[in-house]
A = this chain, B = another copy of it.
């Protein structure tokens, strides 16, 4: 079957294309913005100009999933370039050719071949892949290749052979603590597909909410969700949406801990006392499902059987973490059971529970996954361990023969910069695992826990940092240039914004609401150098629970904004030769001036709005920092010495500024320290 589609240029662009013609051909300068970077790429000369003769051809095998993916890709190229798609079969001469060997299996397996080749010449772009999964990755690469050239757009001539380093490249979203609407999930799936992530790990139950409808046990959402849950129809829609984008959906149903919502609805599952309602507080809860009753397993069996119908993926995540279960140490019935079954402690009882759940899942042809804690002696080998504790724990599992994925360095709520997660490798070549053990490391997952995010802020916590981690999961280990990563992060961030993600736009509405005005230029400038504190610092400093309105300044600002890496790099270059090239010095000085110029108005707005007042200290500190910065630049530029005690005073000031205030930190303190230290006294 051959499908033809045609792109037609808008009138203005088409004319321009006719005019620039051949001259422009010579001007192409390949800009490598690809993210993740492909395994192999060679760059040719010239490229494929997107003009009115552009058409799409599917060679050989075709199915609706592939043609839909191509349609979406073409629509995105249109939006990015102003090209005009006529939507039907006007034969063109310039072609995008997509060729796959055979269709994907109905359920995407972890072993499906994801590789593709992409060959762009001046007359065509050809994608070859085993299945549509590889073809979809190739289309994403193609979109990222499109670049301006003269007055039009071109896909530079390249030959790419690409395949992922890890089979499991996931993003987990916790919808238990705060519910996330279907639209939020969908736009995040779009973002995932754009950077070739292939597993959406859907954390669906928590002490704070049971988010998945069960028809057999309607109480789970009736009593456990505040009315905020996914219907089975919603879930099926999301599974289909994900599949259309080459993404598997692994549902997580937390048991036996983090299970307040189950127990509120069905007290017969309780190990002891029954909570009166779902938990509003965060943190580890004392409630746990009773592992000693047969009725518990009948319940879970029915429930998982029902879920198997909605979630076709071969894996089911049972959580299994953080189960102190004090009832297991005090409930006489449970203690008697443990004694009778020779289960010496809580861990042994949980292992017993896991083994029984594993049997249920085996009957359903599902693999079981759990967090580190499931890894207890006697755990059958057919369980995948997700490590939130770190590499040591992951590698220990591998040495014991368990498959595993790494999550510890990819916790987004830690608010660490992209560059840091980026360098955390799930399987460094330096590790002491044997080749066989190495095979057990399936990949990694980014984790977005839900305590401090809602539909308005979640995208800015996930993106663009997850783009960097997605590259870690896909690209070869030696792709580790942090500067180049940050350079490519900007266009990729804008690309995924065009898919509907709100990570770049959510700050402004937050600031407007806080200030009660549309005039937020200065407040925005102020916010550009601040970022949220980590989850743990916020949890320690502010008492938050499920009812806390996430509408403070900390919720508006985003983690790792561009100021962080920009400043760090500029300072590094400057300090390498402080009296050399003045570009960085000039730019840094102008930056400080701009920041200090923004403070007066921003500060006025803070004083006028009770919800902003807490940030006033940070505004005052910003003024101090800009004075400090300008002085340091002057001393360094003149090669002049600072007055006695200047450095001591600045360092004291920095120490003061590092102290917690308003739940936000300045992004550029490390560079400031360097700058101050470099001054001679």
- Measuring CB to CB, which residues of chain A are less than 8 angstroms from any residue of chain B? 10-13, 16, 78-87, 148, 150-153, 183, 490-491, 493-494, 497-498, 504-506, 508-509, 512-513, 516-518, 521, 542-543, 547-549, 551-552, 562, 608-611, 613-614
Q: How many of these chains are in the complex? A: 2
Do residues A13 and B509 form an inter-chain contact, with CB atoms below 8 A?
no
* 6 A-B interface contacts by CB (under 8 A): A11-B542, A12-B542, A81-B610, A83-B549, A85-B547, A505-B506
Chain B residues, Cβ within 8 Å of A497: 509, 512-513
Q: Give chain B nearest CB distance to A529 CB in angstroms.
A: 14
Chain B residues, Cβ within 8 Å of A152: 610
Which one, B87, B151, B504, B549, contacts A512 given CB within 8 A?
A: B504
Which one, B490, B508, B551, contacts A505 given CB within 8 A?
A: B508
In whole angstroms, how far apart are the Cα atoms of A504 and B519 in the complex? 11
Do residues B504 and A148 form an inter-chain contact, with CB atoms below 8 A?
no
Which one, B494, B518, B548, contacts A518 given CB within 8 A?
A: B494
Do residues B81 and A10 form an inter-chain contact, with CB atoms below 8 A?
no
Residue of chain B at shortest CB distance from A545: B84
Chain B residues, Cβ within 8 Å of A498: 509, 513
Contact of A16 with B494 at beta-carbon distance under 8 Å, contacts A84-B548, A512-B504 already known: no
Contact of A86 with B513 at beta-carbon distance under 8 Å, contacts A81-B611, A518-B562 already known: no
Q: Give chain B nearest CB distance to A604 CB in angstroms.
A: 13
In whole angstroms, how far apart are the Cα atoms of A75 and B86 in the complex? 46
In whole angstroms, how far apart are the Cα atoms of A518 and B495 in the complex? 11
Q: Give chain B nearest CB distance to A149 CB in angstroms.
A: 8
Most B CB within 10 A of own CB, among A150, A183, A493, A610 = A610
Chain B residues, Cβ within 8 Å of A78: 549
Do residues B84 and A549 form an inter-chain contact, with CB atoms below 8 A?
yes
Contact of A84 with B611 at beta-carbon distance under 8 Å, contacts A504-B512, A509-B504, A518-B494 already known: no
Chain B residues, Cβ within 8 Å of A548: 10, 84
Do residues A610 and B509 form an inter-chain contact, with CB atoms below 8 A?
no
Do residues A87 and B547 form an inter-chain contact, with CB atoms below 8 A?
yes
In whole angstroms, how far apart are the Cα atoms of A251 and B422 in the complex? 52
Contact of A518 with B543 at beta-carbon distance under 8 Å, contacts A150-B610, A497-B509, A552-B82 already known: no
Contact of A494 with B517 at beta-carbon distance under 8 Å, contacts A547-B85, A549-B78, A611-B81 already known: yes
Residue of chain B at shortest CB distance from A524: B521
In whole angstroms, how far apart are the Cα atoms of A83 and B16 in the complex? 57
Residue of chain B at shortest CB distance from A609: B148
Do residues B516 and A610 form an inter-chain contact, with CB atoms below 8 A?
no
Q: Give chain B nearest CB distance to A1 CB in angstroms.
A: 20
Chain B residues, Cβ within 8 Å of A506: 505
Q: Name 6 extra pairs, CB < 8 A, besides A78-B549, A87-B547.
A: A10-B549, A79-B513, A81-B610, A82-B549, A86-B547, A494-B512
Q: Give chain B nearest CB distance to A590 CB in angstroms.
A: 12
In whole angstroms, how far apart are the Cα atoms of A542 and B10 in the complex? 9
Do residues B11 and A82 form an inter-chain contact, with CB atoms below 8 A?
no
Chain B residues, Cβ within 8 Å of A504: 508-509, 512, 518
Q: Give chain B nearest CB distance to A424 CB in angstroms.
A: 25
